[in-house]
Amino acid sequence: MADADYRELNRALWDERVAIHAASEFYDVAGFKAGGTALRDFEVAEVGPVAGRRLVHLQCHFGLDTLSWARLGARATGLDFSGAAIETADGIAAECAIPARFVQADVYDAVEALGETYEIVYTGLGALGWLPDMDRWARVVAELLEPGGFLHLSEFHPFTEVLDFTDGSTVTYDYFDRSPQVWDKPGTYTDGDQNTRHTRSVQFQHGLGEIVSALAAAGLRIDFLHEHDHTLFERFRSLERHGRIYRLPAGRPRVPLMYSLRATRPAVVPAASA
């Protein structure tokens, strides 16, 4: 499928869902406006202090994570391909008096669209599955990073994609299938079967090894890879809710549901061997 085809199909879907998501309990915009955060505790701990640091959030949707980093003192920029998302992000930033910059562009065009480099590139949580080429994505990340800067990636674990949606205990789908997945499904993950017009999307499956190898090939050093036994939504019907997260019932063998990694652009590039 050509770039323009999958991009336009997916952009129409996301443009329509911005208003639904912004009004949803899942995103809790009212709570954010009251002083809350959209970030997960492990992300804040793994990224560390951000005050005064230049941070860009790729595929930022309507910007709650970006604005959360700005609230912690980052000089934050968010980038997303949806015009509706960027408009909503700008509106929330203005209403909350949070200084942040938002740019509409496809992630593969981020270097040219942003025109600057950053100390931190932050991305993830449902982002990579919308991109067909991990090598190209990793090169964009590397170009956006200053020497010594790092990527922090939080994502849903690709292993969950092979398990049956109902109970999460049966291997049903092929982990190594890299063909584009065309979905035609109404509604959205925050509010169920909404009366949506744009129902078709194209998504891409990427294994953990593919993602890590792409970052290494782009010249980044993998600092850590952490796997987590919880997730943010009811991925399987067997999951139990604990506050803002979901876990398998106690006593049941655990599987990785999310992961996070940090990859650094070396401050000094090793000299080529003679």
Give the tens place of pLDDT for each residue, 186-205.
Answer: 878 877 667 788 889 999 99
Average pLDDT over residues 115-127: 96
* Lowest-confidence pick of 23-37, 92-106, 232-246, 260-274: 260-274
Q: What is the DSSP letter of 55?
A: E
Q: Which domain holds residue 228?
A: 3-264
Residue 32 near residue 92 (C-beta atoms within 8 A): yes
Q: What's 188's domain CATH number?
A: 3.40.50.150
Work out whether strand 221-228 and strand 258-264 pair parallel, antiparallel, or are unpaired.
antiparallel
Domain membership of residue 80 (yes or no) is yes
Share of the chain above pLDDT 90, in %: 73
Tokens 């549901």 -> residue: 257
Domain membership of residue 274 (yes or no) is no
Domain membership of residue 258 (yes or no) is yes
Q: How confident is the model at residue 80 (pLDDT cuts 50, 70, 90)?
A: very high
Domain membership of residue 270 (yes or no) is no
- Please give the Cα distance from 72 to 75 (Å, whole number): 9
Domain membership of residue 139 (yes or no) is yes
| Model confidence at 4: pLDDT above 60 | no
Average pLDDT over residues 13-41: 93
Nearest Cα residue to 38 out of 84, 8, 83, 76: 76
Domain membership of residue 94 (yes or no) is yes
Q: What integer pLDDT is reported at residue 127 of this predicted model?
A: 96
pTM: 0.93
Domain membership of residue 271 (yes or no) is no
Q: What is the mean pLDDT of the chain?
A: 92
Q: What integer pLDDT is reported at residue 268 of this predicted model?
A: 73
Domain count within the chain: 1
The strand ranges marked E within 89-157 are 101-104, 118-124, 145-156
- Please give the Cα distance from 129 to 161 (Å, whole number): 11
* Lowest-confidence pick of 26-30, 160-164, 248-252, 267-271: 267-271
- Please give the Cα distance from 164 to 160 (Å, whole number): 9
Domain membership of residue 223 (yes or no) is yes
- What's the full length of the chain, in residues? 274
Give kind and range of the element (H or E) at residue 246.
strand 245-247
Q: What integer pLDDT is reported at residue 269 of this predicted model?
A: 60
| Model confidence at 144: pLDDT above 70 | yes
Q: What integer pLDDT is reported at residue 270 of this predicted model?
A: 57
| Model confidence at 274: pLDDT above 50 | no
